[in-house]
Amino acid sequence: MLADGREIHYFDAEPGADHASHVDGRVLPERPPTGEMRFDVLRREWVAVASHRQSRTFLPPAAECPLCPSTPERATEIPAPDYEVAVFENLFPSFVAFDGHAVGEGTELSPARPAVGRCEVVCFTSDHGTSFAQLTPQRVRTVVDAWADRTTALSELDGVEQVFCFENRGEEIGVTLHHPHGQIYGYPFVTPETRRMLASAEEHRLRTGGDLFADVLAGERKGERVVVQNEHWTGFVPVAARWPFEIHLYPHRRVPDVPALSDEERDAFGPAYLEVLRRLDAVFGLPMPYIAAWHQAPVRTGRDLAYAHLRVHSTRRAPGKLKYLAGSESAMGVFINDVPPEKAAAMLREAL
């Protein structure tokens, strides 16, 4: 436990590390109360209101990074003096366990309820100056095991309906801590993106009897947009990519979520994903900002339709130029891509 009662978990490739003996001796403020969610009846989507996040840590210097290991001179969010992979509850969460804090029910046209759920931080390494792309395949396997463990744990929490593992990389994306890390959200609802995809998969099954995700994967594996491939995984630029550089990484076997991946699939993920990230960095010869997002099945619905896969996209369309979500994208949800998917795939294949 951390000093304010938040959980912390360590994951190691080999057992035996004595992390539990390192105690968090900080004096921390009280944890924030359960926030509020408000329902947009026009879009039929929930919006979380979490005003305490306004004070979250913003781009501290490396010497003040809260995700580095603790030292005798400075205590951080991770009490151990070293670690491989560490996961802990976010100090500035959007969703937390219900604490009895009263939240109004809103009105018929603006329903509201407590923002019940869970937000965790995943530190991929204790090395502040590296990146996910520079991890070893063995370390990536440990990260995958951490994702699987926490997906299972969060899925068992009261009120959690979907678990989302993701990484934001680069200030252009909005990163506020440079230490290599990702996050895991336990949402109290099924997200709009997942609902749309599952509805499409259900319509496809009723119309053709097939699996939409598997059919898309089979078609892409035969085409010109494949970027990486091994025995268990294929990464490709989708035919209707919305972002200048966008890669979808699918296991060849349909599984609903990360915990369902076999040992062989978990081992094979690292080499494929590391190649994707290294190709992204090599396209323009500079670190590529990106969002990496696991699409998993919801906890209680659509599990027979979902097909777990990872999507990586970057806002960079050229050196010194970003793709902004301007009028069409932000107001109407209609994306206009500056880079044809076939060209993006070719650039990625040629990058290394």
Binding residues for Zn(2+): 65, 68, 128, 179
Q: Which residues are catalytic, by number? A: 181
**Bridge partner residues of 38 (DSSP):** 47, 112
CA neighbor of 96 nearest in space, from 114, 117, 73, 67: 117
- Binding-site members are 65, 68, 128, 179
Task: Write out the two tokens for 41.
Answer: 């009846």
223 phi/psi in degrees, rounded to 5: -105, -165
What is the rounded CA–CA span in Å between residue 8 and residue 28? 15
Got the DSSP string for 182-230?
EEEEEESS--HHHHHHHHHHHHHHHHHSS-HHHHHHHHHHTSS-EEEE-
SS3 53: helix
Among residues 96, 97, 65, which one has the least CA distance to residue 78? Answer: 65
